[in-house]
Structure 1
């Protein structure tokens, strides 16, 4: 016998929880199913704990600048294990808050693995549940490499299990997760070797961001190894009683790789910890999606939906990382709420707008982007219709410091009215500055609108409204 609901949500991450709570607020009888910790990737092994570790790295970086302002800071040594314990306790509190919020909104919770046994029916713990509308919001998981010795490496999610700071870390990956984790290690005092497949990292971002962050990482002492293909990882020494996450410094590894430009085979020795951040895949293998004959996938196995989060199966919906489009927590939350508004709130045209979504990389310094890169804008509108303003300068913060961190801004405009179609920032505070400008760009702001805005002085952000 099946338990009947109006809305059945598979996945207790940010998108699934947001959609379930919104549906319940309209009076829909709602069930949410989760087989791991509440809050999903972001809360448990993603943006929340990562930002805590980023904050720690940023604080250590700031302590290095303190001497220029007259402070004597004798040590910048971090107690990683203490920070990990406090961070994990904070995440556990968040898990509880998610559970209480669901209970308060009268969303029923089931813990277990959901498997489809029909188009609108799943089985969990030997019980069946069905609903008129079913949402797949199971998120994604980190891809694992397959080269010899890959089992000796850690993934981006394993990063949060590490109990002590490694001395020498090798990171493989060129996306924002790899760049953020490599930066955390480097700015907390590790020796970092970063392996990337091409000549630059963050390749979906504007070239200004790629160049500035790579230059700054190299100045900080990071070894960036471009055009590299990992061939194998070998453990050369270890302590027999401890695991890598318990004590990375008890281990030594040799990385063998090939320079894809020259074909030369090389080795890197003495690596305590190898972390692979090479991408993510949809969390769908255990759902028995073969029971849904009409479900369609893209070339990377992500679920295909229309603009309203509908799959090709009637009354079956999907959103968030499982769809592979803008794999960002706020995107999943917005899509989940709008889906519930449409299904249960009478807002028949509610959907998320995937244009002009602001994105931040918590690099050192932070960088952010919204809209089109310069190259994308030229390809879409024609080079003759694009005008670009850019500026690089030293933030006043660094006026007292020996280290001069980079600050670079780029405004990309199209047409005779110079409508802003892209904004790209590198520098201290870029993560916070971008949010307000994202509102203006979504409203169709032009360069003239920027110019007519009175600047806040002295700030770095004033450069965006005074750039000539």
Structure 2
């Protein structure tokens, strides 16, 4: 039996929050152990944000060519080569686990492989290694939510979707969130027949309803079928090897015969098997219960960050980074530090992209704020005409008393880039007049911001 490993800090997970805290503490001379039950590197680097953008970029290139055909260029052969795309993605991700683990070791950390399980408030079993730690950070991320219907074992995750050797001709996505829509747009541009099935009444619920409606209509024009108010009832494999999906829609039973069903119906905190009760760590369905300083509400030796923490923050890499930064300061500087989220921009990397920061119109109305809405269709703007984009719009909320921007919502090319200008303006309290007064490189998508406020 291995001797107990004693350390100042045990970090569970190797994503952005985990690495930020581990690196800061190790740099200050702490004895740090870092544990991972999958490959070192975390979801964002290996299975999420970064590799996903490789697939999205391929879809964008195909769409640019489609829009430019007959006006900007002449071509009829451009298409996604799926095996080549997957190989290109792997060129970015394959080396990360080894490089990541080596980086931790070079900084003096002990790296551990295996699932973490609490055995007491300050002791955790990782594989065959018992660890006694003064402080524990749980940053284990999220996993696909459990779906309970007959045949759910036939679902593939977004991880598995990105590792497909070949893309089958008919693909159905369960759920109408960002995971489904992003990969549905990729599959559509790769030539597949694509359906998105959502049990709620609308898709992409966190984003501005008016822009979501435009994006959904555009997606349908491209050939995607979208079904709302249609919960999945079962999946079965037919004699031909295809998958038959049964769902109950408003108009009665719906049947879909497809080749692949992808799980895009939400994610849950990745805390399975961790035996939090043994560690006196309280949790809910939203994750580890934490206070405003990301410290466990029941065990002061434990902190949690990222998608596995019930902080109320959006489950995004930037928010995980902010939480990791705050925890590191709390541990090292002898102060209790709250995460400084500020306005958090978010994007759906469809083609075109959908992006948002700040309050929606509905949220502003619920708060009974006095505000104006600047909104419109941008498809006839010069910037959009130059690239033959017909799906582009904006909605900006401005506080009447102060003139400050309350929220911004964009749909169109490079919306995910442009939204950061609004986040910057909101972070530092700039007014709509301030934004309008800034001289910007022209013509650019960013320069359109001056016409939105």
Q: Distance in 2 between matches of 1:54 and 1:103?
A: 34
What is the Cα deviation at residue 70 of structure 1? 4.3
User: Residue 296 of structure 2 aligns with which residue?
Assistant: 311
Q: Distance in 2 between matches of 1:55 and 1:187?
A: 11
Structure 2: gaps (5+ residues): none
Secondary structure of the corresponding residue to residue 95 of structure 2: helix
User: Residue 434 of structure 1 aligns with which residue?
Assistant: 419
User: Residue 243 of structure 1 aligns with which residue?
Assistant: none
Residues 1:461 and 2:451 are matched in the alignment: no
User: Residue 377 of structure 2 aligns with which residue?
Assistant: 392
Change (3 A) 1:316 1:351: same
Q: How many residues align?
A: 447
User: Residue 215 of structure 2 aligns with which residue?
Assistant: 213
Partners of 2:418 and 2:445 within 8 A in 1: no
Partners of 1:24 and 1:107 within 8 A in 2: yes
Change (3 A) 1:66 1:350: same
Structure 1 stretches of at least 4 aligned residues deviating more than 6 Å after TM superposition: none
Q: Distance in 2 between matches of 1:276 and 1:38?
A: 24
Measured against aligned partners, the alpha-carbon deviations of 1:214-242 in whole angstroms (never above 9, x if no partner) come to 1211111111112111112222244xxxx
Residues 1:451 and 2:407 are matched in the alignment: no
User: Residue 206 of structure 2 aligns with which residue?
Assistant: 204
What is the Cα deviation at residue 126 of structure 1? 2.9
User: Residue 266 of structure 1 aligns with which residue?
Assistant: 254
What is the Cα deviation at residue 428 of structure 1? 0.4
User: Residue 241 of structure 1 aligns with which residue?
Assistant: none
Q: Distance in 2 between matches of 1:397 and 1:166?
A: 36
Partners of 2:392 and 2:413 within 8 A in 1: yes
User: Residue 134 of structure 2 aligns with which residue?
Assistant: 132
User: Residue 322 of structure 1 aligns with which residue?
Assistant: 308
Range moving further from structure 2, 133-142 or 209-218: 209-218
Partners of 1:18 and 1:333 within 8 A in 2: yes
Range moving further from structure 2, 52-61 or 152-161: 152-161
Structure 1: gaps (5+ residues): 239-250
1:168-207 matches, within 5 Å, as 168-207=170-209
Measured against aligned partners, the alpha-carbon deviations of 1:289-326 in whole angstroms (never above 9, x if no partner) come to 12023x2223x251111111101211210011101531
User: Residue 277 of structure 1 aligns with which residue?
Assistant: 264
Secondary structure of the corresponding residue to residue 68 of structure 1: coil
Change (3 A) 1:396 1:167: farther
Q: Distance in 1 between matches of 2:321 and 2:411?
A: 27
User: Residue 319 of structure 2 aligns with which residue?
Assistant: 331
What is the Cα deviation at residue 449 of structure 1? 1.3
Q: Distance in 2 between matches of 1:280 and 1:433?
A: 27
Q: 1:407 aligns with which of 392, 404, 415?
A: 392
Secondary structure of the corresponding residue to residue 85 of structure 2: helix
Measured against aligned partners, the alpha-carbon deviations of 1:320-362 in whole angstroms (never above 9, x if no partner) come to 1101531111221221122112211x16243312441111110
Q: Distance in 2 between matches of 1:144 and 1:237?
A: 27
Range moving further from structure 2, 89-98 or 316-325: 89-98
What is the Cα deviation at residue 389 of structure 1? 1.0
Q: Distance in 1 between matches of 2:214 and 2:336?
A: 41
Measured against aligned partners, the alpha-carbon deviations of 1:49-89 in whole angstroms (never above 9, x if no partner) come to 21111111111112213323442323123221122123123
Partners of 1:455 and 1:466 within 8 A in 2: no
Q: Distance in 2 between matches of 1:37 and 1:18?
A: 17
Q: 1:364 aligns with which of 330, 335, 351?
A: 351
Q: Distance in 1 between matches of 2:152 and 2:127?
A: 34
Secondary structure of the corresponding residue to residue 285 of structure 1: coil
Residues 1:342 and 2:330 are matched in the alignment: yes
Q: CA RMSD in A?
A: 1.9
Partners of 1:409 and 1:464 within 8 A in 2: no
Secondary structure of the corresponding residue to residue 29 of structure 2: coil
Secondary structure of the corresponding residue to residue 162 of structure 2: helix
Partners of 2:63 and 2:351 within 8 A in 1: no
Measured against aligned partners, the alpha-carbon deviations of 1:390-434 in whole angstroms (never above 9, x if no partner) come to 132225455366x53322122112241222111111110111112
Change (3 A) 1:157 1:196: same
Change (3 A) 1:105 1:296: same
1:93-242 matches, within 5 Å, as 93-238=95-240
Secondary structure of the corresponding residue to residue 24 of structure 2: helix
Q: Distance in 1 between matches of 2:420 and 2:384?
A: 24
Change (3 A) 1:66 1:415: closer
What is the Cα deviation at residue 185 of structure 1? 0.9
Partners of 1:419 and 1:447 within 8 A in 2: yes
Q: Distance in 1 between matches of 2:275 and 2:301?
A: 17
Partners of 1:355 and 1:371 within 8 A in 2: no
Compute the TM-score of the two structures, normalised by the length of structure 1.
0.90
Partners of 2:383 and 2:444 within 8 A in 1: no
Secondary structure of the corresponding residue to residue 83 of structure 1: helix
